[in-house]
Amino acid sequence: MTDCFIYDAVRTPRGRGKKDGALHEITPISLATQVLQALRDRHDLDTGLVDDVILGCVEPIGEQGADIARTAALHAGYAETVAGVQINRFCASGLEAVNMAAASIMAGQTQAAIGGGVESMSRLAMGASGGAWPIDPSVAIPAYFVPQGISADLIASKYGFSRQDCDAYAVESQKRSAQAWEEGRFQNAIVPIKDVMGVMVLDRDEHMRPGTTVEGLAGLNPSFAMPGQMGFDDVAIQKYPELERISHVHHAGNSSGVVDGAAGVLLGSERFGEVAGLRPRAKIKGFAMIGSEPCIMLTGPEFVTQKLLANLRMKPSDIDLWELNEAFAAVVLRYMQALDIPHDKINVCGGAIAMGHPLGATGAMILGTMVDELERTGKSTALVTLCIGAGMGVANVIERV
């Protein structure tokens, strides 16, 4: 099996995913294009060496439709021999894109590829692409479909995390994100985004609220009490009948932020590095995916981690740094509880509660954060994972080179 190396990892800053967000005026194709151009321009890369561009995107319709990956490669001025494919593994799409690119390289079928993702949540709202799973009665009813926020509240109810626990976690996320920015830990990865005139509009994550306190969060209303009351609480209870009720602990302040952004990771074989004149930064040790119970939905990281560590014959203690996407506070709290991970080893640079979760791109973003962080701290091994809609998990272990 060929080794697959990470040669670079970049991302856009994350713009607030609203009409007044800095990136709202930037088309998703432009976000993806600027990422691809940055990867090329930082290394004077001969794009003819790249076989494929794989981009995750969760709402691949409208201006994110029609294979945005191939469109972005063309638009970025890559060689026309570079293929492109858009994939959708919901919230883990960005990491999945990296893993698919790695798989092909490891199998010897490609020499180099870019894995990444893009999502303009301000322009294509969550749920814009519809689908059978949440809507088709023949599918949704037997699947005990509930929105993710209900699943997150279900996790909190089932595993005993209070509103206080979740808010304390959120405050820590804000603190770590602010500190990471202050110390310039993201500097290397950031691709400042320019507007149509070529003027820079954003070079820093826009969603953060560094001064957040537990007292401040206490005033926020739970986001999912209303859908819960409309019937989704009962759906969750019918799946988990040991619960008398669902406690609604999640709100805008302890859930991932809605943002716009894109990311790209340049992957290749050792030979590609030699030809392109690039030095590898990290090695992909392995990756895995798993399906888990879809109603509680967001507990997949625990199971995919166990699967991946077993595949790699590793123990949790072999992992120096853990990164689990902060979809909701309870998701991370449950993961730490299940695998006995100390808080100071996981999400050390903060996460999506503070900085936001641009669905299709996040997986590639947090992988990049781990590459930078391993280099900064001199540590060796990191595990990156995300919880996923419809009950899945994807994980990946990298090793600094």
Partner 1 sequence: MSTPDFTCFQCETDADGLVTATFDVPGKTMNTLTQAAIAEIEALANWLKDDEALKGCVITSGKDNGFCAGADLQEMTALLTKAQGQSEDDKREAFKLAFALNRVFRSLETCGKPVAMAINGLALGGGLEWALSCHYRVVGSSSKIQLGLPEVKVGLMPGAGGTQRLTRLVGVMAAGPLILEGKSLRPQEAQMQGVVHEVSDDPVAAAKAWIKGGGKAKNPWDEDGFRIPGGAPQGKAGQMFMVGNAMLRQKTYANYPAPIHAMAAVYEGLQLPFDRALEIESKYFVKTLATPQAQNMLRSLFLSMQDLNKGARRPKGVDKDKIESLAVIGAGFMGAGIAYVAAKAGVKVVLLDTSQDNADKGKAHSETLVGKAVSRGKMSQDKADALLANITPTTDYTALGDVDLVIEAVFESREVKEAVIKQAEAHMKPDAILASNTSTIPITELATYSGRPDQFVGIHFFSPVDKMLLVEIIRGDKTGDRAIATAMDLVMTVKKTPIVVEDARGFYANRCVLKYIEQGLSMVAEGVPPALIENAAKMAGMPVGPLALQDEVAIDLGVKILKQTADDLGNAYKPGAVDAILNGMFAQGRLGRKNGQGFYVYPKGEDKYLWDGLSDYVTGSPQSLDPQDLKDRFLYAQALEAVRSYLSEIVTDPREADVGSILGWGFAPWSGGVLSFVEMTGLEPFIARADELAQEYGDVFAVPDGLRKMAEQGERFYPLMAVA
Binding site for partner 1 (CB under 8 A): 127, 130, 134-138, 140-142, 144-147, 227, 230-232, 234-235, 237-238, 241-245
Does 207 participate in catalysis according to the annotation? no
Contact 359, 97 (CB under 8 A): no
CA distance 161 to 181: 29
Retrieve residue 141's tokens: 């009813």
**Which amino acid type is present at position 389?**
G
Nearest to 224 by CA among 167, 150, 126, 125: 150
Contact 259, 358 (CB under 8 A): yes
Distance of CA 70 to the CA centre of its chain: 21
Q: Which is nearer to partner 1, 151 or 212 (CB)?
A: 151
CA distance 43 to 180: 25
Q: Which residues are paired to 268 by β-bridges?
A: 5, 112
| Minimum distance from residue 144 beta carbon to partner 1 (Å) | 7
CA distance 283 to 295: 35
| Minimum distance from residue 240 beta carbon to partner 1 (Å) | 9
Q: Which is nearer to partner 1, 144 or 186 (CB)?
A: 144
Q: Which is nearer to partner 1, 236 or 333 (CB)?
A: 236
Phi–psi pair at 238, nearest 5 degrees: -65, -25
| Minimum distance from residue 232 beta carbon to partner 1 (Å) | 5
CA distance 93 to 346: 21
CA distance 171 to 64: 33
| Minimum distance from residue 137 beta carbon to partner 1 (Å) | 4
Q: Which of 248, 250, 251, 357 is catalytic?
A: 357
Does 295 participate in catalysis according to the annotation? no
| Minimum distance from residue 167 beta carbon to partner 1 (Å) | 24
Nearest to 382 by CA among 352, 346, 331, 354: 346
Q: What is the DSSP string of 107-145?
A: TTS-SEEEEEEEEETTTS-TTTT--HHHH-HHHHTTTT-
Nearest to 337 by CA among 154, 152, 155: 155
Q: Which is nearer to partner 1, 79 or 125 (CB)?
A: 125
Please tell me the total number of residues recorded for the chain in this structure. Answer: 401
| Minimum distance from residue 116 beta carbon to partner 1 (Å) | 28
Q: Which is nearer to partner 1, 112 or 295 (CB)?
A: 295
Look at the block and give the residue holding tokens 């699967």: 307
Q: Which is nearer to partner 1, 85 or 140 (CB)?
A: 140
Q: Which is nearer to partner 1, 389 or 393 (CB)?
A: 389
DSSP-derived pairing of the beta strands 381-388 and 321-324: parallel
CA distance 374 to 186: 12
Contact 114, 191 (CB under 8 A): no
| Minimum distance from residue 34 beta carbon to partner 1 (Å) | 32
Contact 86, 69 (CB under 8 A): yes
Q: Which of 4, 91, 295, 349 is catalytic?
A: 91
Contact 92, 386 (CB under 8 A): yes
Does 387 participate in catalysis according to the annotation? yes
Q: Which is nearer to partner 1, 233 or 372 (CB)?
A: 233
| Minimum distance from residue 294 beta carbon to partner 1 (Å) | 14
CA distance 394 to 93: 9
Q: Known catalytic residues?
A: 91, 357, 387
